[in-house]
Amino acid sequence: MGDLGVGIKQVRQYFQRYGRDNDIMEFDISSATVELASQALNIEPALIAKTLSFSSNGGAMLVVTAGDAKVDNGKFKSVFGFKARMLKPDEVMEYTGHPVGGVCPFGLARDLPVYLDVSLQRFEFVYPACGSGNSAIKLTLPELETYSSSRGWIDVCKNWQEPQQACG
């Protein structure tokens, strides 16, 4: 559906208002999965801020988590009051304007609620995608909160609590 280059153009335009559009990194290789992104950036997978898109009361919502975290269905339901259901790829494109593998909480096609998972709070810097499967930007957590227009920090993930000595 549509031009896959549209997402990164929207994100670049979005970051112009913050003077950060030139901080977007584009790679000659795919960064469409946590593993590929960590290889492209030469960092540990946990530092990748992955944006997950869920169905929400007839619409959609985004949850940004650490690259090593997995959504815990019980925690998700207790926080949001409904079962976690990931959007299908065509729905992802429709709601976010970004292809799967490039989804981020910036330059969205629609105004969606964005939440940040506490799994990210271990790190000084994280690396979310920028609307394409070969892009990223290095952000502090306060920058991620601001640029994503986050509605707040939530705890809906598991499998990340192991002690880590990570720096970005």
Residue 97 forms part of a structural domain: yes
Q: pTM for the whole thing? A: 0.92
- Which is it for strands 114-117 and 59-66: parallel, antiparallel or unpaired? parallel
Residue 167 forms part of a structural domain: no
Give CA–CA dist 29/12, Å, rounded: 19
Instruction: Report the CATH number that the domain containing residue 34 is assigned in CATH.
Output: 3.90.960.10
pLDDT score, position 6: 78
Residue 164 forms part of a structural domain: no
The structure tokens 């976690």 sit at: 84
Residue 25 forms part of a structural domain: yes
pLDDT tens digits, residue range 9-42? Answer: 999 999 999 999 999 999 999 999 999 999 999 9
**110-141 core/surface letters (b: 16 or more CB in 10 A; e: else):** eebbbbbbbbbebbebbbbbbbbbbbbbbbeb
Residue 112 forms part of a structural domain: yes
Model confidence at 162: pLDDT above 80: no
Number of compact structural domains in the chain: 1
Q: Could you tell me which of 28, 96, 109 has the C-alpha nearest to residue 62? A: 96
What average pLDDT score do residues 121-140 get?
Answer: 97
Q: The domain containing residue 15 runs over which residues?
A: 6-158
Percent of the residues in the chain that have a pLDDT greater than 70, as a whole number:
93
Q: How many CB atoms lie within 10 A of CB 76?
A: 20
Model confidence at 164: pLDDT above 90: no
Residue 124 forms part of a structural domain: yes
pLDDT score, position 2: 41
Residue type, 15: F
Residue 163 forms part of a structural domain: no
Give CA–CA dist 143/164, Å, rounded: 22
pLDDT score, position 1: 36
pLDDT tens digits, residue range 70-104? Answer: 999 999 999 999 999 999 999 999 999 999 999 99
